[in-house]
Structure 1
Amino acid sequence: MVRVVFLHPDLGIGGAERLVVDAAVALQSRGCHVQIWTAHYDPTHCFSETLDPDLPVVCVGDWLPRSVCGYFHALCAYLRMIYVALYLLLFSHEEFDVVFCDQVSACIPVLRLARHRKKVLFYCHFPDQLLTTRRSLLKRCYRAPLDWLEETTTGMADRVLVNSRFTAGVFRQTFPRLQGVHTDVLYPSLNPVSFDTPITEGLDGLIPEGRSLVFLSINRYERKKDLPLALHSLASLWERLGEGGFWEKVHLVMAGGYDSRVVENVEHYKELRALCRSLGVEAHLTFVRSFSDTQKVSLLRRSVCVLYTPANEHFGIVPVEAMYCCCPVIGVNSGGPLESVAHGETGFLCPPTPESFSAAMEQFVREPRLKQKMGQAGRERVIKCFSQQAFTEQLNRHIVSLTQ
């Protein structure tokens, strides 16, 4: 039996966490012994699979700060993951063959200290250094050693996987010293069980009566996700449709991961509420924070289309989830959605402007059969290209090869 330990910095409900949980469940289905180690885990803010006692989650180091006076988030994340790795090696009696780590590569040198050297697989969602800005000299000086450390420690992994061809290209551009490191693409998948089971939780109070044309935005409340684009697109659709008629049937649900501990989540939620008021679309909009898995599936089944607003997204699991639920996608024509969404077949890929998005939205409003046609094509595409079976087979092959 192959023993695999997952190391992840914060086991919340984002896309990276979804992949880690799916990877753990996939390897379990192939007979691997799996544990997830993390610096933060909240049973009330997690994916349902992690509540299963057969998928152990070990949380250590949550007492370490996530930031210092609102700054040094990256440094604190590195230190927290290094602590988790040290604790695993020095204070636990857990035996393992392979470590699957993602997001933070700084812990890889620590794993090299194991008595019998263990294999390390690093999954690169996207280079960490590209997820922040460097507007000031002080910020550039702070990030320089962290960027060097990220590149150096990533190169120490025994195998590197990326989530898309887009990310593979960015990886080569960002890490010039790692040109000799081979990266394999492992597309995220979804667990069909949670999407195929009967829904027991409704959408009471989320969608006003009579609103049959529901658009859905799913993303964390972070500024880089460009959620204002969805609001401006809704306002632009209002201008296209005019008062009454179709417009009275339109509603947007903005659902997303929200953590009250994260300052940006709190601030950006308030910013979006203010923007909603200024655009005058409050009556046609519902905000949902930290929804449940069953709520998400209900929303995807109920909606005519998903608005996916991030530009240059690394991959983006939401379009895949939407298409599996027969819900078409309107996304930005860059990054991972170029590989997941088939333009004109399973949705539309548009420039990130309200005019382009609202024009695509109008097609779903005026052509009722478009949702069913594109929705069915989307489900077929997911089954063919992003199935759990394909994901499981590829990941298991990588794990087994590392142990031989």
Structure 2
Amino acid sequence: ILVNSKFTLDVFKKTFTRIKKEPFILYPSIDIQSYPSHEECKIFKNRKVILSINRFERKKNISLAIGSFSMIDEKLLNDKNPLLVIAGGYDERLCENVEYFSALYDKCSKHGLHPFQRINKLEDIAPSNRVLLIPSFSKECRDLLLQNATVLIYTPENEHFGIVPIEAMCSEIPVIAINSGGPKESIVDGITGFLAHQNEKAIAEKINLLLSNEKLQREMGRKGRERVNNLFSLKSFAKMLESFIEGLNNHNKVKNK
């Protein structure tokens, strides 16, 4: 039996109490070569991009990213002119997607963040716009966002693994995630990003720290990519899987003697 994280392993044990054999942890992987290094995009006009990538579902807790962004230090807002980009899977046939997207848009407006929407593309962004919402996006759009983001905010709670933080770290982006679930295993707190309490003030403080310290941004980004290369690359995945299969074969040989 294979599971994708220690967190999932704990859930498995609590759920399937009659199964005594402990599962083997095999972390998901990504193709590092498909994530190019940072590349300036004139669309963002030197603005600091705070990125959130999730499906537009309530359990993804995206409203936390909006609330945290609204609490960024005023001096940093003026100096860095950050832009919060919220992008992810969206299906207009699903009521939850439609309703939650509308709720997020309204929350941005209530905070005076001048939100605007683009569908699967990026165009010129006015300086007064603080939040860009992209319901559904192409791989090209996703790559462009990862190449230009300064920070990734990952807001789901108790995710079994979470591939988005891995993609961000591979793209040399520091990650701020909720201190629960899979991100506790993928992110090294204070080294490749931050694990924060699930409240707006705590996350805003980490955003402020990264926006005000470019050296820290770069260092965390570099170490994040190193971590992905060591633990979450296709090569690492193949090595772990091979180890599991060898162990299984050896066990069967002993059992059949």
Query: What amino acid does structure 1 have at the position aligned with 2:15?
Result: T
Greater Rg, structure 1 or structure 2? Answer: 1
Q: Name the residue aligned to 2:54.
A: 219
SS of corresponding position for 1:260: coil
Q: Distance in 2 between matches of 1:356 and 1:287?
A: 23
* 1:261–1:194 Cα change, 3 Å: farther
Q: Name the residue aligned to 1:338.
A: 184
| Native 8 Å contact 1:213 1:303 kept in 2 | yes
Within the alignment, does 1:383 sit opposite 2:215 as a pair?
no
| Native 8 Å contact 2:49 2:149 kept in 1 | yes
Deviation at residue 197 of structure 1 after TM alignment: 8.9
Give the alignment partner of residue 235 of structure 1, picking from 21, 46, 70.
Answer: 70
Q: Name the residue aligned to 1:350.
A: 196
Query: What amino acid does structure 2 have at the position aligned with 1:293?
Result: K
SS of corresponding position for 1:335: coil
Unaligned residue ranges in structure 1 (runs of 5+): 1-159
* 1:193–1:261 Cα change, 3 Å: farther
Within the alignment, does 1:188 sit opposite 2:28 as a pair?
yes
Deviation at residue 395 of structure 1 after TM alignment: 3.4
Q: Distance in 2 between matches of 1:370 and 1:302?
A: 16
* 1:368–1:324 Cα change, 3 Å: same
CA RMSD of aligned residues (A): 2.4
Report the count of equivalent residues. 235
Q: Distance in 2 between matches of 1:242 and 1:191?
A: 39
Q: Distance in 1 between matches of 2:179 and 2:235?
A: 28
Q: Distance in 1 between matches of 2:178 and 2:98?
A: 25
Query: What amino acid does structure 1 have at the position aligned with 2:231?
Result: C
Q: Write out per-residue CA displacement over residues 356-399 of structure 1, whole angstroms, 9 at most, x where no aligned residue.
A: 00000001121122211110010111111111112123335657
| Native 8 Å contact 2:24 2:244 kept in 1 | no
Query: What amino acid does structure 2 have at the position aligned with 1:166?
Result: F
Q: Name the residue aligned to 1:157.
A: none
Unaligned residue ranges in structure 2 (runs of 5+): 115-128, 253-257
* 1:241–1:219 Cα change, 3 Å: same
SS of corresponding position for 1:349: strand
Q: Distance in 2 between matches of 1:189 and 1:243?
A: 35
The ranges of structure 1 where at least 4 consecutive aligned residues each deviate by more than 6 angstroms after the TM superposition are none
Deviation at residue 230 of structure 1 after TM alignment: 0.3
| Native 8 Å contact 2:52 2:153 kept in 1 | yes
Task: Give aligned-pair identity as a percent.
Answer: 39
Q: Distance in 2 between matches of 1:301 and 1:389?
A: 23
Query: What amino acid does structure 1 have at the position aligned with 2:109?
Result: R
Q: Write out per-residue CA displacement over residues 249-283 of structure 1, whole angstroms, 9 at most, x where no aligned residue.
A: 21110011112232211221111111111111122
SS of corresponding position for 1:176: coil
Q: Write out per-residue CA displacement over residues 72-125 of structure 1, whole angstroms, 9 at most, x where no aligned residue.
A: xxxxxxxxxxxxxxxxxxxxxxxxxxxxxxxxxxxxxxxxxxxxxxxxxxxxxx
Deviation at residue 194 of structure 1 after TM alignment: 2.2
Q: Distance in 2 between matches of 1:366 and 1:254?
A: 22
Query: What amino acid does structure 2 have at the position aligned with 1:262?
Result: L
| Native 8 Å contact 1:305 1:330 kept in 2 | yes
The structure whose RCO (Cα within 8 Å, separation 6+) is larger is: 2
SS of corresponding position for 2:35: helix
* 1:350–1:391 Cα change, 3 Å: same
Q: Distance in 1 between matches of 2:77 and 2:239?
A: 52
Q: Name the residue aligned to 2:2.
A: 161
Give the alignment partner of residue 18 of structure 2, picking from 160, 170, 177.
Answer: 177
Q: Name the residue aligned to 1:365.
A: 211
| Native 8 Å contact 1:246 1:365 kept in 2 | no
Q: Name the residue aligned to 1:245.
A: 78
* 1:347–1:371 Cα change, 3 Å: same
Deviates more, 1:372-381 or 1:295-304: 295-304
| Native 8 Å contact 2:38 2:147 kept in 1 | no
Q: Distance in 2 between matches of 1:197 and 1:353?
A: 31
